[in-house]
Structure 1
């Protein structure tokens, strides 16, 4: 398991038990489920840990069966659990996910109100833990969970920037967790505009910026302080642009059959972040993001398609020689 002394990346979020229906159709008709792990930021943590990065994850879980399962699963991925706190006052969150057989986004129902993770606050900010890493990753999902958790995200982001670390932010919108669209846009952008690397989806970017073209979405964040923006274009690949004027489009990796779209954006983030932390050019980072996103949609589960280092190296070599 990763120790604090060997951290590369730290992230914050809510880890949940996820129950995926085994039968396609409405959740109300499902009679059997498979238990898996869920959480947008945790998916990124898992993906980076599998690629050999030292990863620390900050969350709270309940003193219940879900919490024990989550803690064991996180530790099993080699992620540092020093800041995974068990809080007996509140339950762990969980979710139900429908199964689809046509490649459409599955319905997800959340049971996370009043969860242990929602009580995360600035009291959970330990500067020595965070700055032990060289990079912080945040997303719009944790931003939506509670006011106190959102305050922690700001404290962590500000602290890491002051310490000279880099920060990535995946906009990752969850409208159902917000009181209204206006609040969502304001709060997500408040964090995104302070990050170094911003990773919006094309549809999310339109909601957040009011702009339709990928370059214009990128310009919105570059004008407000971001250094690099990579816009996810789904089946069309990705567009990237930097404050230095570098820009381009990374071609997609076609997928014959889409099994589960949930987690594709998180996998994309793993690809981009891992490559940039390795010092790879932005074009190759976006390409790796596309590759990992394509792997994610071909399997059931949010993180099950994330490769280890040897698998990634083999896949990249195969693609380079194709």
Structure 2
């Protein structure tokens, strides 16, 4: 069929009607002007298929379900124009005459971050609303049986909105994939549907996620799946591995890039690339997945694949509609080489009584693209001092949370001594009154008092202070 690797892309297809420039939703009986209303081929599976074809490294097979109507023909034409071969289209597309190809109205906010709201049509008007038009377990099985070639890459879009993935027979599908290709790579992302918060769905998709090599949720979806929205990204990723057996977890964090936790426990952040103006975020996650899969197909490391994914998402954010434009893999590589992301990190030193502040500070910083090391999340049993020293050495700076308990903590004092010995910048946050009340005696604390100003931890000061910390680490802090 093709010399390039095949990718079976399973998911949903629809027609998107994108309303751009929406300043507010009108009340009943009222109307508002918008900038434009345009039609696009959309849906997570279709978006990823088109992005894969555009990037040009792989040959995608779109395992998507359509009705027997004019919108289905419109989607077929879009696949052809994107470079998906007729052979792949015939192998993958599933036609259900009883189904109406879904339509989605996408309302795009007229200011950054160009957030969206959606209205979905019912693909089966004669039934109660289901909102689902993904292939059934039988249709997935048939798609695999219909292709004779060796397929290494399999991407499932829309976990949580894909009934087949909760079916007890999904194990048979995964086993068939592995039997046909022993080194098969299975990737999956999800969608932020309310059902992700239900225990029954979370339990029913567990078996499938255990089989996935790379799980690619957004930050919101990770929170919904773990049931712990207050956790930072490291804890979210670890919890996904523990609860669902996910091997490698990559959490997409919108403009902050992605947080990665590998199968061996290694963690890192792949920073995003600056976008001059976010036009429309529709399809950016699907484009990211396409870039990531393309890089894996090229033999890139997990970290480099995340950077290529970030580049694909970057180009999608600058375009209207769910597509990333016409950028090839060479264009993605060029962006990665041309724009070196800032890899910023801090070690957070704190007393146990300040754990809540530590978690809030960590989340704020990671939302701003700063990797955070703490003794809680990154510690292994034994050799505690050595591990703390290694984390401080790896960090760009030390964030010191100052309160009455930290002043008494021998651990905090030891961490500060390591930071001073390693000539690390120390960034204190605390209440101003602490400066004069008890920063005396120990040379460490006198040095902290005399050399740094304090960020207030009240009246919204934490988030402002963390933004200043992030800017300082970027070398752009105002003097």
In 2, the alpha carbon distance for the partners of 1:184 and 1:135 equals 25
Name the structure 2 match of 1:54. Answer: 59
CA RMSD of the aligned region, Å? 3.0
- CA distance 1:227–1:95, change in 2 (3 Å): same
- 1:42-81 to structure 2, matched below 5 A, reads 42-52=46-56, 53-79=58-84, 80-81=88-89
Name the structure 2 match of 1:173. Answer: 192
1:122 aligns with 2:151: no
1:36 aligns with 2:40: yes
- CA distance 1:290–1:153, change in 2 (3 Å): farther
Q: What TM-score do the two structures reach when normalised by structure 2?
A: 0.59
Say which SS state the counterpart of residue 151 (structure 2) adopts: coil
Name the structure 2 match of 1:26. Answer: 25
1:233 aligns with 2:231: no
Match of 1:108 among 118, 121, 137: 118
In 1, the alpha carbon distance for the partners of 2:178 and 2:12 equals 23
Name the structure 2 match of 1:217. Answer: 236
- CA distance 1:117–1:252, change in 2 (3 Å): closer
Unpaired stretches in structure 2, ≥5 consecutive residues: 126-130, 343-479
Name the structure 2 match of 1:182. Answer: 199
Shift of 1:188: 4.5
Match of 2:10 among 12, 27, 30: 12
Shift of 1:99: 3.1
Q: Answer whether contact 1:118 1:149 (CA < 8 A) is retained.
A: no
Shift of 1:93: 0.9
Say which SS state the counterpart of residue 133 (structure 2) adopts: helix
- CA distance 1:122–1:62, change in 2 (3 Å): same
Match of 2:153 among 135, 138, 145: 135
Q: What TM-score do the two structures reach when normalised by structure 1?
A: 0.85
Q: Deviations over 1:285-319 (max 9, x none)?
A: 11222222222222211114462234224323422
Q: Answer whether contact 1:144 1:150 (CA < 8 A) is retained.
A: no
In 1, the alpha carbon distance for the partners of 2:249 and 2:49 equals 20
Say which SS state the counterpart of residue 307 (structure 2) adopts: helix
Between 224-233 and 91-100, report the one with greater CA deviation.
224-233
Match of 1:95 among 104, 109, 130: 104
- Of structures 1 and 2, the one with the larger relative CO (CA 8 A, separation 6+) is 1
Say which SS state the counterpart of residue 167 (structure 1) adopts: strand
- CA distance 1:253–1:202, change in 2 (3 Å): same
Unpaired stretches in structure 1, ≥5 consecutive residues: none
Match of 1:296 among 306, 316, 339: 316
Q: Deviations over 1:166-221 (max 9, x none)?
A: 1001122223xx49733443344443332110112222212111342222222233
Shift of 1:239: 1.5
Say which SS state the counterpart of residue 272 (structure 1) adopts: helix
Between 312-321 and 296-305, report the one with greater CA deviation.
312-321
- Of structures 1 and 2, the larger Rg is shown by 2
Q: Deviations over 1:13-68 (max 9, x none)?
A: 22111111255243764686211011112211111122221110112212211011
Say which SS state the counterpart of residue 73 (structure 1) adopts: helix
Say which SS state the counterpart of residue 21 (structure 1) adopts: strand
Q: Answer whether contact 1:16 1:92 (CA < 8 A) is retained.
A: yes
In 2, the alpha carbon distance for the partners of 1:153 and 1:23 equals 42
In 2, the alpha carbon distance for the partners of 1:194 and 1:76 equals 34
Q: What number of residue pairs does the alignment pair up?
A: 316
